[in-house]
Structure 1
Amino acid sequence: MDQQAKKHLQEEFDASLEEKDQLISVLQTQVLLLKRRLQNGQIGTELPDSNIQSEPQVQSPIEEITTENTVEPGKHNEDSVKTLETLNQRVKRQENLLQRCKEMIQSHKERCAQLTNEKEALQEQLEERLQELEKMKDLQMAEKTKLITQLRDAKDLIEQLEQDKGMVIAETKRQMHETLEMKEEEIAQLRARIKQITTKGEELKEQKEKSERA
């Protein structure tokens, strides 16, 4: 929005400067015509209304100087002097207006240059911010990629641990089963040994009793 506003303001200044340049050209032409008429002794009899403002606005249209109804030098001397004074005043007003237009154009040019500098400064700041933002995005993307990699590695490690855990449990069960079978076999062997010893003991006891009786 700021760029559009500055662009619109720049266009308005350019249009204003062009308008002022055209106005200066018109004023310069009219001043030149007035001076030539004064030099040639041709003085118009049509004078401006006394109610017209002494300082016309820049935006007001400029009255063209007519060359009709001219009088010969020397005739109506008094009227000619007044007309000459009036024309001199008009020339001065036109020159003053021209000077004001030049000053206004200069002011507009300076303002335009200032706005251009501000625009360039803002554009430079914008570029810097965009570069910083791009760096932050790259950094965040790198961090995000790093975190994703770490999470993936952690997930793989958990799965591997789960597999190892299952294998350990299975191996433990197998070993316990084998151990139980071995113990049961040992117990059976011990029971058989005990039975064998008991039987032999009873036989020896019977033999002893028989010997004592004999």
Structure 2
Amino acid sequence: MDQQAKKHLQEEFDASLEEKDQYISVLQTQVSLLKQRLRNGPMNVDLPKPLPQVEAQAEGVTKENTESVVESVVGDGASAKTQEILQQRVKRQENLLQRCKETIQSHKEQCTLLTSEKEALQEQLDERLQELEKMKELHMAEKTKLITQLRDAKNLIEQLEQDKGMVIAETKRQMHETLEMKEEEIAQLRSRIKQMTTQGEELREQKEKSERAGAVG
């Protein structure tokens, strides 16, 4: 039940209670006048009529019934018959008044119960809204944290890719320099070998010449 329906129901209860309170006031006046008539004898008394809204709930206590009581009192005086009729009417009015009071009390209790239930439901609703708000804030914080972590991971991957490219480039450069150095060393070794080979041949030729010269001498 939404707030608008609850408000409408509350207004209906309040209006019903107000009508019944007014009706009880009318009935109390009627009972008082009838009792006064019993005590004082016949007189021309106009009893107040119930409210139009609740007149149908009077269970037989209508304008005709009230007028018949007054007419019987005026016509017959304070006879035993009149006394009996008036006592019956008073009793009927008192019973009706008691039933109306009980009905109003029941409506008031029901209204109080509905109000308590409404307040309890409103409190539960407020608690649920607070829980949802907290969950929303928590999820928002977790979402922000995950977004930050993903962004940091992406930046780290990009940085690693850059570092990887730099490492590969540096490795290639070092390998190229090493190869150049090795080639230069090899070239130097080849030159020394060639030089030593030439020197060896020259020494061998000189030795052979020396040996031949010694043989001739």
Query: TM-score w.r.t. structure 1 length?
Result: 0.78
> What is the match of residue 34 of structure 1?
34
Q: CA RMSD in A?
A: 2.8
Per-residue CA distance 1:85-117 (angstroms, 9 max, x = gap): 223212211111011111111121122112212
Return the letter of the residue paired with 1:73: G
Q: Percent identity?
A: 78
Equivalences for residues 66-85 of structure 1 within 5 A: 66=67, 70-71=74-75, 73=77, 80-85=79-84
Give the conservation status (yes or no) of the 8 Å contact 1:10–1:112. yes
Report 1 or 2 for greater relative contact order, CA contacts < 8 Å, sequence distance ≥ 6. Answer: 1
Give the conservation status (yes or no) of the 8 Å contact 1:43–1:71. no
Deviating beyond 4 angstroms after TM superposition, the runs of 4 or more aligned structure 1 residues are 2-5, 59-62
Using the alignment, how far apart are the partners of 2:99 and 2:76 within structure 1? Answer: 35
Greater per-residue helix proportion: 2
1:124 aligns with 2:128: no
Which blocks of at least 5 consecutive residues in structure 1 are unaligned? 45-55, 75-79
Using the alignment, how far apart are the partners of 2:195 and 2:37 within structure 1? Answer: 160
Give the conservation status (yes or no) of the 8 Å contact 1:27–1:98. yes
> What is the match of residue 141 of structure 1?
140
Give the conservation status (yes or no) of the 8 Å contact 2:27–2:93. yes
Using the alignment, how far apart are the partners of 2:9 and 2:171 within structure 1? Answer: 84
Using the alignment, how far apart are the partners of 1:13 and 1:61 within structure 2? Answer: 24
Per-residue CA distance 1:137-167 (angstroms, 9 max, x = gap): 2222222222222222222122111111111
Alpha-carbon distance change, 200 to 95 in structure 1, aligned in 2, over 3 angstroms: same
Per-residue CA distance 1:121-143 (angstroms, 9 max, x = gap): 22222222222222222222222
Using the alignment, how far apart are the partners of 1:138 and 1:132 within structure 2? Answer: 10
Alpha-carbon distance change, 158 to 115 in structure 1, aligned in 2, over 3 angstroms: same
Using the alignment, how far apart are the partners of 2:28 and 2:204 within structure 1? Answer: 158
Using the alignment, how far apart are the partners of 1:61 and 1:198 within structure 2? Answer: 151
Alpha-carbon distance change, 27 to 41 in structure 1, aligned in 2, over 3 angstroms: same
Which blocks of at least 5 consecutive residues in structure 2 are unaligned? 46-54
